[in-house]
Structure 1
């Protein structure tokens, strides 16, 4: 699939206010994609090349670097880019306008495919070390020189994390259900699979290549975090009791950090509420699990709290934040 197809679909979605119409446009895009690239289409659409739990670097480009990329790709002074950015307020639209005005914009351009864009962004994200900024800029400029102006708009928005489509994960799930089953009736099965594997691109790939029955077979795996359930706020205890039909099991709300622990033999991996790996922050928790959990393979979930050893009282949540990665 050509990336241009994504860009035009994104443009339609962006200019559409109704959520149902947005989902319809995205569904048509999924149907038009080859099954082998649907996972990459989903990844680019949700703005994440990899799920957080894989601990892979994301593309995340700051505005300063994005300006340098557009400056080099459009062959204009940086001051021109900054001035136009002040007017548009959007680095994507700025790139689109400047590349559209560039005489070399499409003269030697080769058509960009979805895999080519995905792979280039992934390669750029993994560049590190001395001189990495220049190398990353060069990598991004190389893809912009082949981009049509509208493609440049969405490539820049993708790398800066501001795609502006107005569609969340559930919108993407609805579009996948409609595209590959003909209705939104399969959304629950797709959401269930997403909840247990925390990788919407993987679910999309299975759905596109093997169908909804294969999606229903996606199950919990040790080493793959389960998406954590979150409570919904209501205005009063009375409203809560009405919502749960006057039957509820209530427990103390601990002021700590929610942790999901996966144990496979001696290997213990800890995940945060957002499925990020936080194993190194809690070596004591890892040791406790290795020592006291007898199961060879299991998934545990709980709240990690700081406790004052002298009094046994729970310490404030901020105590745990001192362990956060810099």
Structure 2
């Protein structure tokens, strides 16, 4: 596959904000890709060359990219920096400078997706003497063979800044459109160009007006389907067109197909693997997808609720009620001689927690398994539990690991199991998974224990358990549906969390402003954003709660060091940064505000701590902020009535 074809896809994806159009463009590209290029294409449209669970980083700084653009374009590094400052985007700067170059190198050839992918992926493994020169050579080789437009996207991919609006949901839908039978009612035949396209006002393929209705759809070669069982893709071809009896059935069949792709992704945590299976064996091939010990999966998440009654309404009665610990998630993988520990962000922290392997070997029976747990820090002298912020430094530590493990030890609280002795457990009900844990774990306090749990239908008992959890220094309690499967990466109502009254938000930093006076060398005012669909919306700025000395807590210098490599543009004193650094923020009130893109602003925000265990995709959703805003207005109304 030529790289120019992928760039054409990037341009199409970047030209629209409409999800249906993005899905169509992506599905068409997936269908046309050869089998070798397909998994690369799936990763590259996500701006990656490694799957999400792989902690490998390309690791190219902007200044090295400036040198590569300089070498490829024949301009000086200072000229590249001037163009970068003018455009605010190094990718656009590369495009403009390469566009001024009269012709490509005489010996250059058309770039392929495989060549671009292999060169960029190789960058992550280059180390040692002469590594900078070798990296520069690999990047410059690509840019010298690239068109100006290709250079823009190569630059963004190398810097890990490529964003064309492809969410996991869009990619999942596109795989269904590309490799499953086409469903009339989900797709419609354009009367002008005859393409099967989503039912939008104008055809995505030819832009002619469309006004088709399901009742008017005619597809002579379609297979009539009157029940979900008839849509069994073991009996139909991915090339078939299905004509369901009505729109509701069309949606039901489509959701069935989506679930098949989602389940395969939940197992592999890699859409490239899913795409390869679909291309090789069609939809039926997804049944062979298995959990792989050593490859982390996204953890199941629980939305917040405001009352015990609301918790029972979501999970049903009786429910398992467990302590919600003030620690950080640990996903533990063991298989014969292999042992790995991953965080909620799927970072490999095995080396940072050397004691964990000993705890697991001592207290958990089994040859191969994947466990879900919470690591809680404690004081080795008093044995009292410590809050998350005091032990979070262990996650990133690269030196003095043994010493820090002695000073800040952790206790593992195990609460779920996804795989055991060659058997996938995620489809088993939670009650059965808990029973398995109770049978294979020999608990020992301050090493490895089962999460404290009560099974109850009574709200009074749940409230008493909540108070007990708080008395132990925990955040609150979790409610879990006893019959629910383990659903990786989802907040699906199988479990919810009920916390103490003080509300905090996990927000991502998207911008900052250089300080003045004695803070002139630091970033000092930080723009915060919440999550909304595939993007982020600003909700305010924070400058309080941040210290001037690192030993006092999260400092201006620490945040500046973290954010400087993430800067994507600079205008005056204000910088825009890639949304990667997540912080926990408390506030006095949420206010409606036209100032910020979310429509809300935080009154008196204060930074509490860094959330190293959170990624940008874990930040608080706008829908939850709206819920908090409405609930505080409701409380205010009650006060004014009394």
Fold shared by both chains (TM-score > 0.5): yes
Change (3 A) 1:79 1:23: same
* TM-score normalized with structure 2 length: 0.48
Over 3 Å counting, the alpha-carbon distance change for 1:100 and 1:203 in structure 2 is same
- C-alpha distance in structure 2 between counterparts of 1:73 and 1:17, whole Å: 33
After superposition, what is the alpha-carbon deviation per residue over 1:90-137, rounded to whole angstroms, capped at 9, x for unaligned? 111111111111013365431111111111111222211122122111
**Structure 2 equivalent of residue 287 of structure 1:** 358
2: CA distance between counterparts of 1:120 and 1:144? 11
**Structure-2 residue corresponding to 1:251:** 322
Which of the pair has more CA radius of gyration? 2
Deviation at 1:209, TM superposition (A): 1.6
Say which of 337, 355, 375 aligns to 1:304. Answer: 375
| Residues 190, 216 of structure 1: 8 Å contact kept | no
Pairing of 1:1-326 with structure 2 (within 5 A): 1-51=1-51, 53-55=53-55, 57-105=56-104, 108-183=107-182, 185=255, 186-233=257-304, 242-244=313-315, 248-323=319-394, 324-326=396-398
Q: CA 1:13–1:239 in 2, change beyond 3 Å: closer, same or farther?
A: farther
Give how far 1:318 is off.
2.6
Cα drift, residue 268 of structure 1: 1.9
Quickly say closer, same or farther: Cα 1:142–1:201, change in 2 above 3 A.
Answer: same
Larger relative contact order, structure 1 or 2 (CA cutoff 8 Å, min sep 6): 1
Separation in structure 1 between the aligned mates of residue 36 and residue 61 of structure 2, nearest angstrom: 31
Larger displacement relative to structure 2 (227-236 or 280-289): 227-236
The CA deviation at 1:33 is: 0.3
Give 1:240 deviation, angstroms: 5.0
SS at match of 2:164: coil
The answer as to whether partners of 2:334 and 2:370 remain within 8 angstroms in 1 is yes
For residues 206 and 52 of structure 1, the distance between their equivalents in structure 2, rounded to whole angstroms, comes to: 18
Say if 1:263 and 1:245 are closer, same or farther in 2 by CA, change over 3 A.
closer
Residues 300-322 of structure 1, C-alpha deviations (whole Å, 9 max, x = no match)? 11001112234332112133323
Q: Does the 8 A contact of 1:307 with 1:313 survive in 2? A: yes
Report SS of the residue matched to 2:365: coil
| Number of equivalenced pairs | 325
Q: CA deviation at 1:231?
A: 2.3
Residue segments in structure 1 that go unaligned for 5+ positions in a row: none
SS at match of 2:321: coil
When residues 266 and 6 of structure 1 are mapped into structure 2, their CA distance, relative to the original with a 3 A threshold, is: closer
* Aligned-pair Cα RMSD in Å: 2.1
Comparing both structures, which one devotes a greater share of its residues to helix?
1
Q: When the two structures are superposed, what TM-score results if normalisation uses the length of structure 1? A: 0.92
More strand by share: 2
3-state SS in 2 of match to 1:299: strand
On the 8 A contact 2:331/2:370 being kept in 1, the answer is: yes
* Contact in 2 for aligned 1:196/1:225 (Cα 8 Å): no
CA contact (8 A) 1:106 1:148 kept: no
